[in-house]
Structure 1
Amino acid sequence: MDYKPYSPEWHRKRCLKEALDQYFDNYIPNNVIREDIFDIISERSESAYADWNRAEELISLLDSK
C-alpha cells in the first residue's frame, strides 16, 4: 500500500521497512525475526495490561470513598 509522502502512515511504513531491511541485510534467520516480533508484541501487551491494572485499582480506590 502506498501512502501520501511524509504522512504518519508513510513514516511508520518506512521505519518498519528499514528495520526489516537490517534483518535481511545481516542475514538474520527467519525464526529469529519471528521471535523478535513476538517479543516486542509481548512486551507491549504486558505493558498495556499493567496500565489497565493500575486504572482498575484507581477506579476501585475512587469507588470505595
Structure 2
Amino acid sequence: MAADSGYGDCTLFRQGLAERGLRYAVQVDPNAIALPADAVPVTPPYAGTGRPPRPPTPARR
C-alpha cells in the first residue's frame, strides 16, 4: 500500500495499517520529526522575564 502525506501524517491511520499486519509506504510532511517512544517534552526553566516557556508540542494544522 502507498499513500500521500494526507494519510502519512495521520498516526491513527498508520497504526491501523500496522495492527492489520499490512506493509505500507507513506509520504510524511518534510518538516516532521521522529522521537523515541519514551521521549518526554522538557520545559526550560523560567528566567522571570517575558512569557514563561511552554513545553514543545507538535504543530497542529
- TM-score, scaled to structure 2: 0.20
Q: Greater helix percent: which structure? A: 1
Going by fraction, where is strand more abundant, 1 or 2?
2
> Computing the radius of gyration over CA atoms, which structure comes out larger, 1 or 2?
1
TM-score, normalization by structure 1? 0.19
Compare relative contact order (CA 8 Å, sep 6+) and give the higher one, 1 or 2: 2
